[in-house]
Structure 1
């Protein structure tokens, strides 16, 4: 009798364990080397969910989750590192691709990924947006070749924002759209964000990204002309540094993280030149949104960062510093005048040096 009871208990525990694993991600990659390490990351929180070794081109992850998250599968072997970006949601998520297609689709969503609902939304979004992205890319080349001016080029960027907003308004109640509005909120009006937020179900309003939208609607925005908000962090030696320490100089406040490839590229190629050229007149303050000091410290040393480099090691999504400056994507920088006023918000496409020159001319 006792044996039967234990069998029943074990079965119940097994069922409960299976229920807790409320997403299963299965993938097949033709042509990939057996023994390749596959790591599933939650990019929203930048944490490792699980890791497996690929056998016969197959991998599988499973775990519990309350809300969907933007994920990345990092594939690493002795030869190379590749990535697959995808959304993870409850239910089955499957994909079948090839090693060649992974390499060719770096930086975008692999179209073979199929899930309960989000993959269909992404498919619709990409179908709408691809022609517009293509036009912007062509316009950017013309801008670089001085065939069109900056104002003409910015029309194509505006088209991306307008069309993305229209898509999200028409397809509001999914986590992809909520995430997209969060990405764009600093270039939208508060009224546009509120109109979108009001369309959401209560469940999505209570989601992490839904709460971020509500918070953004309710807080007073930091904009050009406002006084800077003082922030503080610790440098790699554990010393506390405040932004206000540098008032009286032009400040470039840069937000970055070791896990952000465009940030690392900028830190490696652009900032050292700016520091050498303007370091006597301009204080560069890089604030890292890393959570792990080891990752931040390792990359900082590799990059040989000479300017101010601080962090509070709280990440980006739940960080009062990110909220204070309305930062939801990186790299993002701010140019702050000698009097402590915000002169310019710099996005990745902007010419940072040109804006520094303008700031230095201000009295």
Structure 2
């Protein structure tokens, strides 16, 4: 009887090990983000926040200017990486990721590696940052009244508006050019009123079925087709321009 019970226990344990192994094999991989923030102090909390979902995906404590975050996302997700009062915008995917920055330069001068979406974010940043630096500098001068006279103030305002407009032109053009991505679809969706609806429909039609099934793509399709159904709507030529 004892031998039978031991055999039954062994078989049960074997099934437990097998089921655990199968579950581990089928468990979807997550992301691991390792980072260095120069100038940060020990004990500072770093948070990874899903911008759209408005939720913290993970947090960690800085030790020797280093941190490690991990978790899982259902799809590539635009996030804030927050440290102290500074932040950076990154694209999180279920892969190994890295982040490096000086604390006070996180917003405009970080370096990050990850999946395809972060590679696109890096490309977008390289195009936008020159104009973002100009707008930031002009804005600081205006808000802190660092101008010498009304002529200087007017020049700063003109510089700010021109750089801001170019910044947005770069942003929208990038979204149209890289529409076959989550970051591209998000850009187009957020700026859909700046883009002809027939152009949005052409972009949508070129998407693979996997991306057409996303809520953002469906929303854009609904937005575009509603107006296109109006009788007499003019169809404009599509031209996704790039800005160097």
Q: Do Structure 1 and Structure 2 share a fold, with TM-score over 0.5?
A: yes
Q: Match for 1:73 among 78, 81, 84? A: 81
Given the alignment of the two structures, is residue 50 of structure 1 paired with residue 41 of structure 2, yes or no? no
Distance in 1, Cα, partners of 2:135 & 2:199: 23
Deviation, structure 1 residue 130: 3.5
Q: What is aligned with 1:208?
A: 215
Q: CA deviation at 1:122?
A: 1.9
Residue 43 of structure 1: CA displacement?
Answer: 0.5
**Aligned pair in 2 of structure 1 residues 144, 65: CA closer, same or farther (>3 Å)?**
farther
CA separation in 2, counterparts of 1:58 and 1:196? 41
Give the 3 Å change call, closer, same or farther, for CA 212–111 of structure 1 in structure 2. farther
Cross-structure match for 2:104 = 103
Q: How does 1:1-363 map to 2 (within 5 A)?
A: 1-2=10-11, 3-16=13-26, 19-75=27-83, 80-97=84-101, 101-106=102-107, 108=108, 111-133=110-132, 145-147=153-155, 157-219=164-226
The aligned residue for residue 7 of structure 2 is none
1:42, distance to aligned residue in structure 2 (A): 0.5
Give CA deviations for 1:2-41 in whole Å, capped at 9, x if unaligned: 333323333333444xx33432222233443333222221
Q: Distance in 2 between matches of 1:104 and 1:47?
A: 24
TM-aligned CA distance change 1:73 to 1:162, over 3 Å? closer
Q: Separation in 2 of the partners of 1:213 and 1:143? A: 44
Check whether the contact 1:172–1:178 (CA below 8 A) recurs between aligned residues. yes
Judging by fraction of residues, say which structure has more helix: 2
Q: Cα distance, 1:149 vs. partner? A: 8.7
Q: RMSD of the TM alignment (CA)?
A: 3.4
CA spacing shift, 1:27–1:4, aligned 2, 3 Å? same
Displacement of 1:173 in angstroms is: 1.4
Identify unmatched segments of 5+ residues in structure 2: 1-9, 143-149, 229-244
TM-score for the superposition, normalised by structure 1? 0.49
Structure 1 residue 157: Cα displacement: 4.8
**C-alpha offsets along residues 267-320 of structure 1, whole Å, 9 cap, x if unaligned?**
xxxxxxxxxxxxxxxxxxxxxxxxxxxxxxxxxxxxxxxxxxxxxxxxxxxxxx
- Stretches of structure 1 that go unaligned for 5 or more consecutive residues are 222-363
Greater Cα radius of gyration, structure 1 or 2: 2
Q: Matches of 1:143 and 1:92 in 2, distance apart?
A: 51
Given the two structures, how large is their TM-score scaled by the length of structure 2? Answer: 0.68
Q: Write out per-residue CA displacement over residues 53-75 of structure 1, whole angstroms, 9 at most, x where no aligned residue.
A: 33343333333322211111223
Q: Secondary structure at the residue paired with 1:20?
A: coil
Is the 2:91–2:117 Cα contact (8 Å) retained in structure 1? yes
* Counterparts in 2 of 1:161 and 1:57: CA distance versus 1, 3 Å: closer
Whether contact under 8 Å (1:139, 1:156) holds in the other structure is: no
Give the SS at the match of 2:17: helix
Output the CA distance in 2 between the equivalents of 1:148 and 1:29.
Answer: 32
